[in-house]
Structure 1
Amino acid sequence: MRISVISYHSSPMEPVGSGSSGGMTVFLSNLYRRLGRYSKIDIFTVGKEDYKNIGPARVIFINNEDLGKFTEKVLSYHNILKYDLVHTHYWLSGIIGLKISRILNIPWIHSFHTVEFLKGIIGDRERIEVEDDIIKYTDFIISPTDMEAESINRRFRDAKIITIPHGVDIRNFKSNGNGNSNLLFVGRIAPIKGLDVLINALKYVKGKFTLNIIGGISKRKDYFNSIKSNSERFDVNFIGTVPHGKLFHYYNDSSMVIVPSYYESFGLVGLESMVSSKPVIGLNDTGLIETVGNDAGILIKRDEKTLAKAIDYLIENKSFRYRLGVNGRRKALKYRWSNIVRRYLNIYEKIIKN
């Protein structure tokens, strides 16, 4: 089985937390280094190098950011190597999938990672139209949550969708440490991640705390400057980008992890918090509903005072924090990568066979 994976938007080799890299980067590198043991995997992405390996999987860099020319180069590889299936990730890669599947008549799977119409009024209309075409013409969509899959099916009743959640490396994240009153935020410092909501909520927190912020700065420097300015009167540390393999130190040193994103299709940070036995505070209109639920954290409406109350409650109630952490670790173990890889193999084999 020879699989072509297209990730135009984000390289699986890019340091997590910088540029456009984040949960999708972690997902790609972890999934395909494992899937590469069972099938031949080539991952196409933008870059100046020739090839690199992620385990047995091969990353092929195409030194051209022009989407049309990138597509032509990928097509040339397809003509030579005769892939059995193409799997595109993110909407820009989906544009490439639309063309390749039509020209080569090859089975095509797509994973959105972020669905634009679910963002509501902040959604990009042009991107929504492209994603609608992807939904219409792809052979299969893989969604990380039932909530996302159901939303797509309400929009397109005939869409073929299967839910396969993202995985977590349970060896990298261990249950350890109480964290005292250390709060943790992990994510790009970008508006969609909602760090402004958290910073604005701090003025209502009554308990003593330290907030550690891990993540690189997005293109919106003005947003970062505003966050930095508004956080000066609190005990806040801007740690910057941390290699993914070292994140567990910060989870272990925290008493809770806060995910205030305006949109999360899945919420990998929430899952990593759970496997580290740390309670999660997040919003109740995101993908955290399915991973965290009400027994591994506190999910709230988007309101600064409500967020502050949740933080204070967990600071004050150590036993409740511990109970949520134990529940989270137990729930997170079902997301171990061996389970996720098996499901991907099954769907790949099924689509190729049919």
Structure 2
Amino acid sequence: MKILITTVFEYPHTGGLSTHVQTLKNGLEGFGHTVDVISFSDLPEWKQVGLVKGPSFLLNKMKLGKGFVHSHLTRQKLLAQYIRENNRGYDIVNAQDVFATLASVDSGIPTVSTVHGYMSFEAISKGSLVQDSAEERFIREIEVEAYTRTRKNITVDQRIKDYLRDAAGIDAVAIKNFINVTDFAPEKNRKNEFRQQYGIDASRQVLFVPRRLTRKNGVIYPTLAMEQVVRQFPDALLLYAGTGEEESTLRSKISELRLSRNVQLLGAVPHEQMKHYYALSDIVLVPSVHDAGVEEATSISALEAMGSGSPLIACAVGGLKEIVNPGVDGVLVEEKNVDELAAAITDLLANPAKGEEFAGKARAKIENEYSHVSAARKYEEIYKSVL
């Protein structure tokens, strides 16, 4: 088949959606399919800035949310035009977001959609929309339109499947997120090599947060927990890989708690380097929280950590509860509970053998249940069924 994957967002970019697209593309190409990706990044820069980003910025100055709506509607229109102009005889489109779905359907190519989250709730959480505003209600209506017009909806976890049923009466197919189990394999034997490469002392206890710096990812809580952790492990080092609107809040808190020696913000880390940080870390943290109705899906970051041989501590929310068996292949703590998070961190640092046991069982689970090869086969079957 000739398969087109579409999104109104940038591709590639640092984040789970790009990782999902690239990993799915690799899996489908392994079965002999031709897979192309068309995204907002393919548009000429003057259109990106002059028609979308510039006007959206100005409209948001008038009223928060107006720019968000303008941005996505214009992205949809431009993407639909670009798909029509660059149609290489595609058999099917797999759209990755609400507005890409509508753009793809308008192109006339049979379309299925992957639903990664709750668009309106996530926009509220990020501060892009005001709850119960006219703009938020409009986005919810657009969501329902997209879910009903596509030929099949695929969700990345059971909760989002339930959301589509409740919001639009749609019966979707849940296919959990997945990773390339070959790329993200344990490399703990290279731990000191990677630490030397990135200038990290081999004797320090390293905690790694591979998350965008946004509220729903709960990124403030590991820093708050470090105030307790450093009392027992004064050389402990907390690393964040990601960018986002919470960066200034984090920097302020790091300064306030006098943790500049113990907490570092790495910024955006290229995806191919993420495996190095998993390997050099002693513990990976995925501290997601409920925020504005948003819950973590089947976190790709958590899956990558489990596949890479790193013990995982995550919050017991959303899809994280589906992938972590607490006390067996990882640790789950109560969201926003700084004391519990700090206790879990210090326990694993003091008992590394326990972490190694969790990591070994986690790797076996990833190989059996979250391989990109088996996921690509499921997607292939859905494409064939709707055709």
| Fold match (TM-score > 0.5) | yes
Deviations along 1:189-248, one digit per CA (max 9) or x if unpaired, are: 233322112212222334315233242432555335335434632512333333222222
Deviations along 1:235-283, one digit per CA (max 9) or x if unpaired, are: 1233333322222222122221101123421211111111122221111
Aligned pair partner of 1:134 in 123, 137, 146: 146
Contact 1:282/1:288 (CA < 8 Å) preserved in 2? Answer: yes
Q: Distance in 2 between matches of 1:221 and 1:146?
A: 31
Tell me the number of residue pairs that the alignment of Structure 1 and Structure 2 aligns.
326
The secondary structure found in structure 2 opposite 1:166 is coil
Written as runs of structure 1 = structure 2, the 5 A alignment for 1:1-354 is: 1-12=1-12, 14=13, 21-37=14-30, 38-47=32-41, 61-63=42-44, 64-65=47-48, 66-67=74-75, 68-78=77-87, 81-100=88-107, 104=108, 106-116=109-119, 122=125, 124=129, 125=136, 126-176=138-188, 181-205=205-229, 206-208=231-233, 210-219=236-245, 222-230=248-256, 232-233=258-259, 235-262=262-289, 263-294=295-326, 295-302=328-335, 303-334=337-368, 335-352=370-387
Closer, same or farther in 2 for the Cα pair 1:221/1:271, shift >3 Å?
Answer: closer
Q: Distance in 2 between matches of 1:120 and 1:301?
A: 24
Q: Distance in 2 between matches of 1:186 and 1:83?
A: 35
Closer, same or farther in 2 for the Cα pair 1:121/1:250, shift >3 Å?
Answer: closer
Q: Distance in 1 between matches of 2:343 and 2:184?
A: 31
Q: Distance in 1 between matches of 2:124 and 2:92?
A: 35
Closer, same or farther in 2 for the Cα pair 1:149/1:118, shift >3 Å?
Answer: farther
Closer, same or farther in 2 for the Cα pair 1:44/1:231, shift >3 Å?
Answer: farther
Q: Distance in 2 between matches of 1:98 and 1:227?
A: 46
Q: Distance in 1 between matches of 2:153 and 2:284?
A: 30
Alpha-carbon distance, 1:27 to partner: 1.6
Specify the code of the residue in structure 2 equivalent to 1:113.
H
Alpha-carbon distance, 1:347 to partner: 1.5
Contact 1:260/1:282 (CA < 8 Å) preserved in 2? Answer: yes
Specify the code of the residue in structure 1 equivalent to 2:80.
T
Alpha-carbon distance, 1:70 to partner: 2.9
Moved more, 203-212 or 175-184: 175-184
The secondary structure found in structure 2 opposite 1:3 is strand
Q: Distance in 1 between matches of 2:178 and 2:383?
A: 16
Q: Distance in 2 between matches of 1:333 and 1:196?
A: 31
Moved more, 113-122 or 240-249: 113-122
The TM-score with structure 1 as length reference comes to: 0.82
Specify the code of the residue in structure 2 equivalent to 1:174.
P
Moved more, 191-200 or 214-223: 214-223
Please list every run of 5 or more consecutive structure 1 residues that lacks an aligned counterpart in the other structure.
15-20, 48-60
Q: Distance in 2 between matches of 1:321 and 1:166?
A: 22
Higher strand proportion: 1
Aligned identity (percent) is: 21
Specify the code of the residue in structure 1 equivalent to 2:95.
T
Please list every run of 5 or more consecutive structure 2 residues that lacks an aligned counterpart in the other structure.
49-73, 130-135, 192-201, 290-294
The TM-score with structure 2 as length reference comes to: 0.75
The secondary structure found in structure 2 opposite 1:247 is helix
Closer, same or farther in 2 for the Cα pair 1:119/1:45, shift >3 Å?
Answer: closer
Alpha-carbon distance, 1:322 to partner: 1.7
Closer, same or farther in 2 for the Cα pair 1:94/1:216, shift >3 Å?
Answer: same
The secondary structure found in structure 2 opposite 1:240 is coil
Specify the code of the residue in structure 1 equivalent to 2:333.
I
Contact 2:156/2:175 (CA < 8 Å) preserved in 1? Answer: yes
Specify the code of the residue in structure 2 equivalent to 1:25.
S
Closer, same or farther in 2 for the Cα pair 1:210/1:132, shift >3 Å?
Answer: farther
Q: Distance in 1 between matches of 2:151 and 2:79?
A: 22
Higher helix proportion: 2
Q: Distance in 1 between matches of 2:121 and 2:247?
A: 26
Specify the code of the residue in structure 2 equivalent to 1:291.
I
Alpha-carbon distance, 1:88 to partner: 0.7
Alpha-carbon distance, 1:351 to partner: 1.5
